[in-house]
C-alpha cells in the first residue's frame, strides 16, 4: 500500500481522488457481506479447535499494533500457567505453507512478523494462509493449550472463542469508507461483535472512548500503549544505551511508519532523514547503498530481522512492547479460564 493512498484513506472525508472507486467499494461490500452470511447460515464450514482460540485483528488495512499485542498476550498467558502457540497468515512470505517457524527459518519464506514472534517469544508459531490448517498443525505437533491468531478477524473459516480488535488512536477508522475508497475491511459496527476493542495509543479509558464515540455507547474500549523497551544492535541483538551520534536516519517498512517516527522523537532522537518502504518490504543491502556511514540507522524490530545479515555495526532497532491495563488482563484471564471448562 503506497504512502499516497494511505494519506488519502486517512483524511477525515472521502477525497475526490477516490470518487471513481465508489462502485468498487459497493461491490466489495456486497461480496464480503455475502461471504459472512454464508458462514452465519452455516453453509460454509467453520473449523473448531480442541483448545481455545483468540483472534487478534482489526477492521482496517495497515498496522494497528496487533503483533506487539500478540506477544504481550503470550507473556500474560504464560504468567498464568497457559502454554500458548501462535498462528499467522505469513503475509508476503514465499512459503511453502503450512510451515512451522523457528530461529532457523527464512523470514522471506515465513514472513517477517511470524519469524520475529517465534524468535522473541520462543513459543510454537505456524504459518499458513488457511489459518485452520495452521491451527491443526500447531495443536497436533506442539504442546499448546491455547492458540493466538495474529490477524484473521475476517478469516471466518477459523472458529474463535474470543475476538480482540485493535484500532490506532491517531488514525482511527480513517475516512470511514470500505476498501478501496477507504481503509476498512468491514464497517465500524463489526467492532460491536468483538469481545474487546483496544485503542492503541490511547492514554486512558476516556481517551479511548473519544477515538470511537459511537462504539463507546455500546462497550468501553480498552486503552493500550506501545512502550519503548530499549535499544538493540541489529547485527547481534546486543543491548546499547542509545544510538551513537547526534542525528539518525530512521527506516520503516511497516503499516504505520508515522507512529514509529513519533516514538523515536519521544525517545529524544534527532531524525535527520526518514525512509519509508512498503509494509513487509523484503530488505536487501541495495536499499541502503546511499546511506551515509556517518549517521546511525534506526528501525523497528520487525525490519531488523530482515537486515541482520548485511547490517552495519551502527544500525539499531528499538524494542517495543504493548502495555495493557491490569483490569483488562485480569478480565481476559478470567474469560479464558471459563472457556477451558467448555473445551
User: Helix (H, G, I), strand (E, B), or coil: what is residue 322?
Assistant: strand
Per-residue pLDDT at 61 exceeds 60: yes
Give the per-residue pLDDT at 83.
Answer: 97
Where residue 340 falls among pLDDT bands split at 50, 70, 90? Answer: low
Find all residues with CB under 8 Å of 183, minimum gap 6, and list them: 6, 9, 10, 60, 61, 62, 173, 174, 175, 177
230 assigned to a ligand binding site: no
67 assigned to a ligand binding site: yes
**Structural domain boundaries of the chain?**
3-225+324-340, 226-323
* pLDDT above 70 as % of the chain: 98
* Three cell numbers, residue 329: 488482563
Find all residues with CB under 8 Å of 133, minimum gap 6, and list them: 97, 98
* Three cell numbers, residue 13: 472525508
pLDDT digits (tens, 9 = 90+) for 89-104: 988 888 899 999 998 8
* pLDDT above 90 as % of the chain: 69
C-alpha closest to that of 129 among 107, 110, 147, 112: 110
- Can you identify the CATH homologous superfamily of domain 3-225+324-340? P-loop containing nucleotide triphosphate hydrolases (3.40.50.300)
Query: Exposed, middle or buried by CB within 10 Å (0-12, 13-18, 19+), for 93?
Result: buried
61 assigned to a ligand binding site: yes
292 assigned to a ligand binding site: no
87 assigned to a ligand binding site: no
pLDDT digits (tens, 9 = 90+) for 230-271: 999 999 999 998 887 778 999 998 888 888 999 898 888 899
Q: Is the peptide bond before 96 cis (omega within 30 degrees of 0)?
A: yes
Mean pLDDT, to the nearest integer, of 54-74?
92
Where residue 40 falls among pLDDT bands split at 50, 70, 90? Answer: confident
Which residue bears the cell 493466538? 148
Per-residue pLDDT at 190 exceeds 90: yes
65 assigned to a ligand binding site: yes
pLDDT digits (tens, 9 = 90+) for 97-141: 999 999 889 988 999 899 999 999 999 999 999 999 999 999 999
Give the per-residue pLDDT at 289.
Answer: 87
What gap in Å lies between CA 270 and CA 160, rounded to an integer?
44
Q: What is the mean pLDDT of the chain?
A: 91
255 assigned to a ligand binding site: no
4 assigned to a ligand binding site: no
Amino acid at each position: 500500500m503506497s504512502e499516497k493512498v494511505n494519506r488519502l484513506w486517512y483524511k477525515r472525508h472521502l477525497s475526490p481522488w477516490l470518487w471513481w472507486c465508489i462502485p468498487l467499494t459497493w461491490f466489495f461490500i456486497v461480496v464480503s457481506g455475502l461471504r459472512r452470511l454464508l458462514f452465519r447460515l452455516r453453509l460454509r464450514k467453520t473449523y473448531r479447535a480442541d483448545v481455545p482460540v483468540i483472534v487478534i485483528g482489526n477492521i482496517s488495512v495497515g498496522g494497528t499494533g496487533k503483533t506487539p499485542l500478540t506477544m504481550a498476550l503470550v507473556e500474560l498467558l504464560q504468567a498464568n500457567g497457559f502454554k500458548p502457540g501462535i498462528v499467522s497468515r505469513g503475509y508476503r512470505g514465499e512459503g511453502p505453507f503450512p510451515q512451522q517457524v523457528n530461529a532457523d527459518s527464512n523470514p522471506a519464506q515465513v514472513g517477517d512478523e511470524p519469524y520475529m514472534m517465534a524468535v522473541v517469544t520462543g513459543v510454537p508459531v505456524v504459518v499458513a494462509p488457511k489459518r485452520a490448517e495452521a491451527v491443526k498443525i500447531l495443536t497436533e505437533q506442539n504442546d499448546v493449550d491455547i492458540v493466538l491468531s495474529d490477524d484473521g478477524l475476517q478469516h471466518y473459516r477459523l472458529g474463535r472463542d474470543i475476538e480482540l480488535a485493535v484500532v490506532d488512536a491517531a488514525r482511527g477508522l480513517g475516512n470511514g469508507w470500505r476498501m478501496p475508497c477507504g481503509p476498512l475491511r468491514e464497517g465500524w459496527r463489526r467492532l460491536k461483535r468483538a469481545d474487546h476493542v483496544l485503542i492503541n495509543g490511547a492514554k486512558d479509558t476516556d481517551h479511548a472512548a473519544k477515538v470511537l464515540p459511537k462504539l463507546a455507547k455500546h462497550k468501553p474500549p480498552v486503552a493500550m500503549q506501545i512502550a519503548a523497551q530499549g535499544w538493540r544492535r541489529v547485527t547481534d541483538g546486543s543491548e546499547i544505551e542509545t544510538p551513537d551520534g547526534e542525528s539518525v536516519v530512521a527506516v520503516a517498512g511497516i503499516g504505520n511508519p508515522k507512529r514509529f517516527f513519533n516514538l523515536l522523537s519521544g525517545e529524544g532522537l534527532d531524525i535527520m532523514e526518514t525512509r519509508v518502504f512498503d509494509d513487509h518490504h523484503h530488505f536487501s543491502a541495495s536499499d541502503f547503498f546511499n546511506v551515509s556511514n556517518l549517521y546511525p540507522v534506526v528501525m523497528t524490530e520487525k525490519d531488523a530481522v530482515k537486515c541482520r545479515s548485511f547490517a552495519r555495526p551502527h544500525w539499531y532497532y528499538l524494542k517495543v512492547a504493548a502495555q495493557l491495563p491490569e483490569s483488562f488482563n485480569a478480565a481476559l484471564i478470567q474469560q479464558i479460564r471459563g472457556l477451558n471448562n467448555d473445551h
